[in-house]
Structure 1
Amino acid sequence: MAITRARNRLLNILNISPDLKAILLTTDPVEIKRDKIKKKFSEIIIATLNDEQTIPPLEWVMTRDAVTIFRTIISPRSEMLAGYSLLAYIDDLLNKPQLAGRPEPDPGFFAELEHLLKGVMGKTGIYDEKSPAFAKYEGRKAARLRSADLSRMALTANSILPDGRRVYEFHSWEKKLSLADTYVYTDVSIYNYLKRLKAAGENPADYKTIWYYY
C-alpha cells in the first residue's frame, strides 16, 4: 500500500474522533502529542462518569474500557514492553512523506484502530447485543459467571502492530500473593482470524464484539 493511500485511509478513520485527528496533525513532537491525547482521554472519561444515563449501559462500559486501553497502548511502559510505539508509527504515517524503513500498515491494522476509536467515542454499535449472562442471575451462580467474565482482565492489550496483531501483557494470578513476572505475547490478527472464519462458512457479523475484548 502506497504511503499516500495509507495516509488517506488513516485520515478517514481519524474522522471518528476529530479532536484526536487535530492533535495528531500538529507539528508538535510525539511526546507533546502523547500528553495532549492523554488529557483529551481524561476529558472523555470525566464526561462519561458525569453522564446521567444518556449513554446506553454497554456503550458506557465500552467507552470506559477503550479509553483505558488506548491510554495504556500509548504509554511509555507499553512501548517498552512491545518494543514498538503505535503513536510514533501513526505520527510517521501522517506527517512524514516516507515510512523510512517502517513496515506498511496491513488492513488488520486499520481495522483494529477503527474499532478502538469507535470504542473511545461510544460508537461501537453493539448495544443491541444481549446482556452478559451473569446479569440474569443472583447469588453464587451470578458470582461464578461474573468471575468467568472477568477472567479476560488477566491480560491487557499493550499495542497494535502494523500487521494488525495485538501485543498483550498477561498477569498471573499469583501477583495478588507475591511478586510475579508478567508475560508479553503477540496474538494473531483479529482481521485475519475473521477472514478465516468467513472462509470456513461463518458469518463475521456474528463475531463483531470480538474487537472490544482487550
Structure 2
Amino acid sequence: MAEHHTDVQAFFGARAAGWDTRFPDDGPVFAAAVATLGLRPGDTVLDAGCGTGRALPALRDAVGPGGTVVGVDVTAEMLTAAARAGRGRDGALLLADVTRLPLRDGVFDVVFAAGLISHLPHPENDLRELARVTGSGGRLALFHPIGRAALAARHGRLITDDDLRAEQNLRPLLAGAGWRLVSYVDEDSRYLALAVRDDATGRGG
C-alpha cells in the first residue's frame, strides 16, 4: 500500500501547480454536485481526496459559518496549491491518507469524494474507512466532473466491464463497505453516485 501511495503522490505532486488551470471550467460542476447533497447549515463534511480544494468553497457555502469542512489529501503539493488558491479559508486542510484517517468515528454528516475511487488501493476496505467516520444516516458522494465514457475518451480508452464506477460493480462494492447506493448518474457532463451509510450493516465490519 505504501508503494501505491508513493505512486499517487508522485503523479499528483508533479501536476499540482497547474491542476486548476488544466481544468478551469470545473468549478460550476463541483458546485452543482454539492447542491445535490442535502447539506444544511451547521453540518460537518469531509472532502476525501480534496486535491486543490475545488469543492471546498461550495461545501462551505452549503454548511455556512457554523458548519465544519475538512479537506484531506495524501499529496502535500495538492494541499499547497489549495492554500495558495485561498481555499484554506473554506475548510481545514489535512495531510492524511483517506484509507487510514486520523479522525474519530461518526463525526461527518457527508463525505464528498471527487475522482477518488479509482485511486483507492483496496476499495472495499477504504470505503469502509469512510463509513467509519460518517454518522448514522450519513451520506457519501462519489463524483467526477465528467462521466465514465467522456473520461475514457479523454485518455484514449474504452470503458471496460470491470470499471469499479459502473453501477453493477459499484452497488455491491458499496454494500460490502457499509453503504447503500441510492442514486446514480453517469452522463457526459458529470458522474455522481450517492450512497447512505447502511445502519443494517453498521460500518461494514
TM-score (ref. length: structure 1):
0.22
Q: Is the strand fraction higher in 1 or 2?
A: 2
TM-score (ref. length: structure 2):
0.23
